Amino acid sequence: MLEDRPDGSGVEVLSARDVPLGGPRAMSVRRTLPQRGRSLIGAWCFIDHYGPHDVRGGRGMVVPPHPHTGLQTVSWLFSGEVEHRDSLGSIATVRPGEVNVMTAGSGIQHSEVSTDDTSELHGVQLWVALPDAARHCSPAFEHYAPEAVAWGDVTVRVFLGSLAGQTSPLPTHSPLVGAQLDLPAGDPIAVPLDPAFEYGILVDRGALVVDGTPVPRVDVAYLPVGRDTVTLDADGACRLLLLGGEPLGEQIVMWWNFIGRSHDEIVKFREAWQADVITGLDDGGRFGAVDYDGQPLAAPTMPGVRLRARG
Ligand code: MN
40 CA → ligand 1 middle, Å: 18
Does pLDDT of 159 surpass 70? yes
Give the mean pLDDT of the chain: 93
225 CA → ligand 1 middle, Å: 29
111 CA → ligand 1 middle, Å: 7
Does pLDDT of 301 surpass 70? yes
288 CA → ligand 1 middle, Å: 15
pLDDT of residue 5: 46
**Which among 220, 215, 192 has a CA at the least distance from the CA of 45?**
220
205 CA → ligand 1 middle, Å: 25
Q: Which helix (H) or strand (E) holds 264?
A: helix 263-273
pLDDT of residue 10: 83
3-state secondary structure of 287: helix
104 CA → ligand 1 middle, Å: 9
150 CA → ligand 1 middle, Å: 32
For residue 196, the Cα-to-chain-centroid distance in whole angstroms is 21
Over residues 277-300, mean pLDDT = 89
Query: What confidence tens digit (pLDDT) does each residue in 194-253 have?
Result: 999 999 999 999 999 999 999 999 999 999 999 999 999 998 899 999 999 999 999 999
Percentage, residues of the chain above pLDDT 70: 95
86 CA → ligand 1 middle, Å: 10
Percentage, residues of the chain above pLDDT 90: 87
Does pLDDT of 58 surpass 90? no
Any idea what the Cα angle at residue 43 is, between residues 197 and 237, rounded to 5°?
65
23 CA → ligand 1 middle, Å: 12
Query: What confidence tens digit (pLDDT) does each residue in 103-149 have?
Result: 999 999 999 999 999 999 999 999 999 999 999 999 999 999 999 99
126 CA → ligand 1 middle, Å: 9
pLDDT of residue 2: 44
> What separation in angstroms does the CA of 196 have from each of 189, 227, 228, 229, 261?
21, 8, 9, 12, 24
d(CA 137, CA 47): 23
d(CA 304, CA 84): 33
Any idea what the Cα angle at residue 206 is, between residues 205 and 212, rounded to 5°?
125
Does pLDDT of 1 surpass 50? no
Query: What confidence tens digit (pLDDT) does each residue in 66-90 have?
Result: 999 999 999 999 999 999 999 999 9
